[in-house]
């Protein structure tokens, strides 16, 4: 069967893949699947969002479900509202960190977590069979505008941190939502917590004129420069729908997601006296080391935010995280949440009284090299099986692809879920060792590929 959903909802280029007609039909399929409401419908600030939202709403209403239109909001705020308002589920019009021409549809259940693959396949089955519920004219669903969901969402975040302590620390912060919906919450939260707040790229704009919606070392040039020039303590950046957060230290240095996650793990384990921590298998050993040092228990999963959220809930964990800046803080909600992650980091700075660069310096040191090797989708599974066979004398972890534990570190070889490539991650104690391990990993992939194709 054809698939519409990728690893993180349905995504495509507006008016080419993701058209008004498509949105209407997917709305009908989702309504047919859910059967009852209320279903929340919200959107991020992307181009075409309003067109798609209105079409999805029309489709949902035609199946008889009631909907609540919650308007513009970060993805985690809509997920939070789904739970708070006892909704049957929510449809979010977003394409997260994708380039500006993209938009998409994400479906979450009553707990705010993205629906499972089995549920997605059921919606796809309805979509491709055109087998929609089409109710009698008297039974068409009701439309209601949602209240101020951002207020309740922000209050939940504020309740999870010690605002007085943050206020006393007199932090100066620069917030860069990248013209995305994070600008609707994070600068207000930092201001509420008494931080001197400066914003850049904080006007909502679906064309993303300020920078790419993906926050990384390259796209955050202005944030790095601003933090350093005005003498701020920290820079905070989100992706387009603000479910992720990354940081810049007071010297203008970009902090990778696994390092900032490691700091929040230390903080959370100290506060809780231990607890379960969930992260995908690709995350740096920095996290493993601090979990062990601070008396926690590490649970690793396949790569993907949905699986981290589900596992965190299942194992009753305290915090989850991803190397791309996904922070899942269980006391607030199980899904990743950019604004929550930002406020936790400010609280940690206030608790320790140390600079962000100092805190990062104290973390264990590891070096990673990431490589891509092209591989047709049809070969991926065979290749991974071949690798497992060729590596049977090594210590392996096959949670997601093949992770090989070597003397000086590890190599993870896994198939991309969205592109015809194999990813090879290598990590070691020095840059040189990491590069050697990476070369070994890439050679392993190429050798196995050769064996398969001769
Ligand atoms: Mg996102």
| Alpha-carbon separation of residue 340 from 112, 121, 231, 346, 432 (angstroms) | 15, 31, 24, 10, 36
| pLDDT computed for residue 416 by the predictor | 85
Measured in Å, residue 317 CA sits from the centre of ligand 1 at: 22
| Alpha-carbon separation of residue 82 from 113, 152, 181, 363 (angstroms) | 9, 12, 18, 37
Measured in Å, residue 299 CA sits from the centre of ligand 1 at: 23
Instruction: Please identify every stretch of the chain with a pLDDT value under 70, giving residue numbers as ranges.
Output: 1
For helices 431-453 and 377-390, the axis angle rounded to 10 degrees is 110
What does pLDDT average to over the chain? 96
Backbone angles phi and psi of 134, in degrees to 5: -130, 95
| pLDDT computed for residue 1 by the predictor | 54
Residue with tokens 């939070």: 80
Measured in Å, residue 235 CA sits from the centre of ligand 1 at: 18
Cα–Cα distance for residue pair 302/308, rounded to 1 Å = 8
Measured in Å, residue 409 CA sits from the centre of ligand 1 at: 30
Where helices occur in 212-316 by DSSP H, the ranges are 221-230, 257-272, 285-293, 305-314
| pLDDT computed for residue 418 by the predictor | 72
96 is catalytic: yes
For the chain, list the domains and their CATH numbers.
10-147 (3.40.120.10), 152-361 (3.40.120.10), 367-453 (3.30.310.50)
The one catalytic residue in 62, 96, 284, 448 is: 96
CA 124, distance to chain mean position in Å, is 23
Residue with tokens 């202005």: 222
| pTM: predicted TM-score of the whole model, two decimal places | 0.95
Measured in Å, residue 155 CA sits from the centre of ligand 1 at: 21
| pLDDT computed for residue 3 by the predictor | 85
| pLDDT computed for residue 178 by the predictor | 98
| pLDDT computed for residue 8 by the predictor | 79
| Alpha-carbon separation of residue 406 from 149, 199, 286, 412, 414 (angstroms) | 49, 45, 17, 11, 17
Measured in Å, residue 425 CA sits from the centre of ligand 1 at: 22
Measured in Å, residue 435 CA sits from the centre of ligand 1 at: 30
């Amino acid at each position: 069967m054809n698939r519409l959903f990728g690893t993180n909802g349905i995504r495509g280029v507006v008016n080419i893949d993701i058209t008004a007609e498509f949105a209407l039909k997917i709305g009908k399929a989702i309504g047919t699947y859910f059967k009852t409401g209320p279903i929340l419908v919200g959107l991020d600030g992307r181009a075409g969002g309003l067109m798609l939202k209105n079409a999805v709403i029309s489709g949902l209403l035609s199946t008889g479900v009631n909907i609540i239109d919650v308007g513009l909001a970060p993805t985690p705020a809509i997920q939070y509202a789904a739970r708070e308002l006892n909704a049957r589920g929510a449809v979010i019009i977003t394409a997260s960190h994708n380039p500006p021409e993209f938009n998409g549809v994400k479906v979450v259940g009553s707990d705010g977590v993205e629906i499972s693959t089995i549920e997605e396949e059921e919606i796809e089955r309805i979509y491709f069979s055109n087998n929609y519920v089409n109710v009698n004219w008297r039974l068409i669903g009701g439309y209601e505008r949602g209240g101020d969901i951002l207020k309740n969402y922000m209050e939940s975040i504020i309740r999870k941190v010690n605002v007085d302590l943050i206020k006393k620390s007199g932090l100066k912060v620069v917030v860069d939502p990248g013209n995305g919906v994070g600008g609707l919450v994070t600068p207000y939260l930092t201001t509420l917590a008494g931080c001197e707040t400066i914003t850049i790229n904080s006007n909502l704009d679906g064309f993303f004129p300020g920078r790419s919606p993906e926050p990384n070392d390259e796209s955050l040039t202005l944030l790095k420069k601003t933090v350093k020039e005005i003498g701020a303590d920290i820079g905070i950046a989100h992706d387009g729908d603000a479910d992720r957060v990354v940081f810049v230290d007071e010297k203008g240095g970009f902090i990778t997601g696994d390092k900032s996650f490691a700091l929040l793990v230390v903080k959370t384990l100290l506060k809780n006296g231990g607890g379960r921590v969930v992260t995908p298998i690709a995350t740096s050993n920095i996290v493993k080391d601090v979990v062990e040092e601070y008396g926690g228990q590490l649970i690793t999963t396949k790569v993907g935010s949905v699986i981290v959220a589900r596992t965190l809930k299942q194992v009753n964990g305290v915090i989850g995280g991803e190397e791309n800046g996904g922070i899942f803080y269980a006391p607030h909600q199980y899904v990743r949440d950019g604004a929550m992650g930002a406020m936790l980091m400010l609280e940690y700075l206030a608790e320790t009284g140390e600079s962000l660069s100092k805190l990062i310096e104290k973390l264990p040191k590891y070096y990673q090299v990431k490589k891509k090797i092209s591989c047709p989708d049809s070969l991926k599974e065979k290749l991974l099986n071949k690798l497992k066979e060729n590596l049977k004398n090594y210590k392996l972890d096959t949670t997601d692809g093949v992770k090989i534990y070597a003397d000086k570190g590890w190599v993870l070889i896994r198939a991309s879920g969205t592109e015809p490539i194999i990813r090879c991650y290598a990590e070691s104690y020095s840059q040189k060792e990491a590069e050697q391990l990476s070369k070994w990993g890439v050679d392993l992939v190429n050798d196995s590929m050769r064996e398969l194709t001769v």
